[in-house]
Amino acid sequence: MTKADIVNEISKTTGIEKVTVQKTVEAFMETVKNSLAKNKNVYLRGFGSFVVKKRAEKTARNISKNTTIIIPAHYIPSFKPSKTFVTKVKNNVK
């Protein structure tokens, strides 16, 4: 499902114009991105959590050049679904 599909589905379900729904979805995504960029997690009860995880520094190998490189510690965004979300997906996907 793409962002356009989500906008169409919300518009059809709620009766709100697609343009308004699109602006709302865009604003939601921008708010989540900005919060994570400020190292603030986003918790949506019954859906899941958008969290910032720290990856430790590690050594990696470039096989083609036979060299090792150091990948510095960095932060990545992550999503952790809620228990009800996981249960619903487990029981409905076939």
Q: How do the domains of the chain map onto residue ranges?
A: 3-92
DSSP-based three-state secondary structure for 87: helix
pLDDT at site 62: 87
- Mean pLDDT over residues 48-59, rounded? 96
This model's pTM is above 0.95:
no
List phi, psi (to 5°) of 53: -115, 145
Mean residue pLDDT of the chain comes to 94
pLDDT band at 93, cuts 50/70/90?
Answer: confident
Nearest in space to 26 (alpha carbons), one of 44, 1, 7: 7
94, pLDDT greater than 90:
no
Q: Is 4.10.520.10 the CATH classification of the domain at 3-92?
A: yes
